[in-house]
């Protein structure tokens, strides 16, 4: 799969390269934005939804390896964007991107990547790269594209080595909204697009945006809530002034312990006031930290649309969509936290409930987008407890 970093000359036809921090160099065919970017290399096993994956802010600072070989063949459209803020910095794929073949497409994947300044490299043995990540963990690397094949490998290697990695990095502030606003979008329907949220809906949910996917807010609307979205560092007083019936903690990128420096005190204060809380992904981790648990960096993380999760209350298995490289350490759960869900892949924590409080969280994404819809009931559960 790899060439030594000492071999600087690209093979014939190589216009893309991935330079790993350990010196491994992998050549391929670049597409999308011309340039270079640094990040953590991870893999996603979903067979659909590459546009939603690339625009998920939880992928900030990451390069996504798609295990499904045919990425880009259905093109892109304006409706499947999860967020306009930063998402994945680039992607690695097996096959060259073909012309789109889908009635919803209005732009090719390559043109879309160019427009969003994201780099792609094709022609990579993604199975070998995925095995490497599974065995050795998610590595740091630089991904680069130059149509002329001119790459300064020593400079790219230096950049990969100097990048500090996601552990200890707070990225939520970088991808969060800058000011609060009332959410207006509703569920999507074929041929109609996204609906409008009723302005007078009750109850009122204040959603703290640590890097959220828009479809989360649409699912809260679908469950019957009116939603106001606020930035990651919104104070307790500002949240309470909005008179929430409940507070939602969104997904987001980076190390939860770093984001928790400013997020956890606010969440603790909300719990002290018995405000109902629902957290997803990073929001779930924030809730765990606020209740006294700890988080840790995972070896390879969970990313895909086919992850089995066991609901401990009744043994039901939900097939879920996931995207996380950190997790609540279930060995550190204090007596005040009930573990509600676990991964059937590795036994890691996937859900908690705070005893004596209307507060719970899940590590996975019940809004899917892309993925199965087994877990929409969680939105209904949350909204239902706010009446």
How far, CA to CA in Å, does 68 sit from each of 54, 89, 95, 119, 372?
A: 14, 19, 9, 18, 17
Question: Is 84 annotated as catalytic?
Answer: no
Question: Is the CB of residue 257 less than 8 Å from the CB of residue 295?
Answer: yes
Q: Classify the C-alpha dihedral 25-27-30-34 as positive or negative.
A: positive
Q: In terms of C-beta density within 10 A (0-12 exposed, 13-18 middle, 19 or more buried), how is residue 128 classed?
A: exposed
Burial classification of residue 4, based on how many CB atoms lie within 10 Å of its CB (0-12 exposed, 13-18 middle, 19 or more buried): exposed
Closest CA to 50 of 110, 136, 103: 110
> Which of these, 240, 170, 173, lies nearest to 206 by C-alpha position?
240
- Quick one: 334 exposed, middle or buried, by C-beta within 10 A (0-12, 13-18, 19+)? exposed
Is 350 among the residues known to form the active site? Answer: no
Beta-strand runs (E) in the chain:
3-4, 16-20, 24-32, 35-44, 62-66, 90-92, 119-122, 140-145, 181-182, 185-189, 193-196, 204-209, 226-231, 246-249, 277-280, 295-311, 317-328, 337-343, 349-354, 359-362
Which one is catalytic: 281, 302, 307, 318? 281
What torsion do the CA atoms of 216, 212, 316, 328 make, to the nearest 10 degrees? -160
**Measured distance CA(372)–CA(369) in Å, rounded:** 8
Q: Is 365 known to be catalytic?
A: yes
Two structure tokens written together for 320: 């879920």
Residue position matching structure tokens 């979903």: 46
Instruction: Just list the catalytic residues.
Output: 281, 365, 367
């Amino acid at each position: 799969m790899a060439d030594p970093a000492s071999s600087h000359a690209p093979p014939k036809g190589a216009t893309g390269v991935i330079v790993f921090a350990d010196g491994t160099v992998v050549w391929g065919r670049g597409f999308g934005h011309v340039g270079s970017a640094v990040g953590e290399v991870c893999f996603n096993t979903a067979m659909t939804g590459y546009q939603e994956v690339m625009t998920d802010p939880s992928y900030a600072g990451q390069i996504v390896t798609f295990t499904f070989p045919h990425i880009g063949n259905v093109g892109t459209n304006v409706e499947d964007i999860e967020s306009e803020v930063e998402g994945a910095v680039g992607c690695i794929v097996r096959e060259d991107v073909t012309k789109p073949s889908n009635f919803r497409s209005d732009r090719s994947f390559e043109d879309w990547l160019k427009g969003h300044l994201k780099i792609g490299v094709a022609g990579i043995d993604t199975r070998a790269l995925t095995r490497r990540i599974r065995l050795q963990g998610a590595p740091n690397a630089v991904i680069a594209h130059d149509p002329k094949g001119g790459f300064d490998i020593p400079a790219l290697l230096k950049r990969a080595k100097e990048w500090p990695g996601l552990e200890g990095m707070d990225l939520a502030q970088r991808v969060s909204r800058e000011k609060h606003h009332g959410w207006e979008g509703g569920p999507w329907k074929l041929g109609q697009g996204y609906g409008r949220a009723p302005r007078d809906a009750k109850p009122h949910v204040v959603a703290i945006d640590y890097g959220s996917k828009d479809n989360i807010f649409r699912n809260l609307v679908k469950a019957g809530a009116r939603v106001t979205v606020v930035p990651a560092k919104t104070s307790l007083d500002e949240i309470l002034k909005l008179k929430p019936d409940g507070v939602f903690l969104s997904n987001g990128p980076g190390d939860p312990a770093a984001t928790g420096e400013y997020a956890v005190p606010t969440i603790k204060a909300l719990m002290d006031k018995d405000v109902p809380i629902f957290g997803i992904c990073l929001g779930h981790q924030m809730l765990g930290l606020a209740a006294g648990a700890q988080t840790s960096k995972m070896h390879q993380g969970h990313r895909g649309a086919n992850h089995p999760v066991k609901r401990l209350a009744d043994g039901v298995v939900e097939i879920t969509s996931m995207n996380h490289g950190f997790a609540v350490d279930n060995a550190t759960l204090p007596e005040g936290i009930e573990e509600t869900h676990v991964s059937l892949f590795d036994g890691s924590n996937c859900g908690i409930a705070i005893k004596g409080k209307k507060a719970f969280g899940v590590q996975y994404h019940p809004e899917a987008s892309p993925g199965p819809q087994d877990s929409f009931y969680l939105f209904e559960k949350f909204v239902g407890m706010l009446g």
